[in-house]
Amino acid sequence: MSEKNYRLTISYDGSRYQGWEHQPGTDMTIQGKIENVLALMLGFEEGRVPEVIGSGRTDAGVHAEAMIANVIMDTPMKENEIRDYLNRYLPDDICVGNVSEASPRFHSRYNATGKTYRYTCYVGDTKPLFDRKYVYVPDGIPDIDRMREAAKYLVGEHDFASYCAHAGKKKSTVREIYSIDINRKNDRITFIYHGSGFLQYMVRILTGTLLEVGLGKRDPDSIPQLTECRDRTQAGFTAPACGLCMVKVDYD
C-alpha cells in the first residue's frame, strides 16, 4: 500500500457547528468530525488524525451543498467503501456524497478557481416553520430591482475591504465577483454569488448591504463610494449565517 490523495465532496447542515475549521475549545467543527472518523477508520492512535483540507472555511452556522476537501491516506479500502464508512459514523447532519482518487498535487483550496454561494431570504406571510434554520426573514419585503441595480456596481474586481470582517489584516482584500443573481420565487428571495473567492463574512455583509438598498435604507448608486471608502462601518449589517450555503467550487 502507499499514500493516495483523495477528493471528498461533502454536504452539511451547519446549524449546530462552529464552522468548518478547527476551533480551540470545541470539537463541534465539520473538519474535526470528519478527521475523527477517518482516524478511527485508519486505526490511528488516540490524538492522531489525518489532515482534511477544505476548499473554504465556512463560518459557524453556514451550510454547504458541495464543500470539496482532500486528504492524503494510506488505506486498502476502495473509494465507495471510504464514503460508506464515513457516512456510517458521521453525524446525521454531515454527508459525504463522493470520494475519488485525485492527483498527488491536487489541493482543494489552492486549486480552486471560483466559488458559488447562495443566500436565501423568506418573505412569506407566515413563519418559515420547517425551513427556519436555512433562511433569513428580513424586516419587510425588499425591492428586487433596486437590489439588482446596486449589485451591478459590485460585479468585477474590487477591493472589498468595506464588506469584510477584520480587513485590517495584511492579506489582500481584492477579489473578483463574476456575477450576482437576485431572484424571487414565491416566498423566497435568493442571492447567488459567483466569484474568485470571498473574504470572511463577505457574502453576508454584501447581502445585508443589498437588503438595506432593497428596503430603501440606502440608494443603489451609493455602492461605488461605499466600496471605495474601504470602511466596514459604512457598509450594511452582517446577514445571519443561517441563510448562507456554499453551493459549488470550481476547478480547471
Using CA atoms, how far apart are residues 14 and 61, in angstroms rounded to an integer? 5
Residue 92 neighbours by CB distance under 10 Å: 7
Using CA atoms, how far apart are residues 235 and 163, in angstroms rounded to an integer? 6
Q: Which three cell numbers stand for residue 183?
A: 431572484
Question: What is the DSSP-derived secondary structure letter of residue 23?
Answer: B
Active-site annotation holds for 219: no
Cβ pair 82, 51 in contact under 8 A: no
Residue 181 CA, chain-centre distance (Å), reads 17
Question: What is the DSSP-derived secondary structure letter of residue 51?
Answer: P
Locus of grid cell 477517518: 38
Using CA atoms, how far apart are residues 197 and 188, in angstroms rounded to an integer? 25
Residue 160 neighbours by CB distance under 10 Å: 24
Of the residues 59, 92, 145, 231, only one is catalytic, namely 59
Residue 144 neighbours by CB distance under 10 Å: 13
Catalytic residues: 59
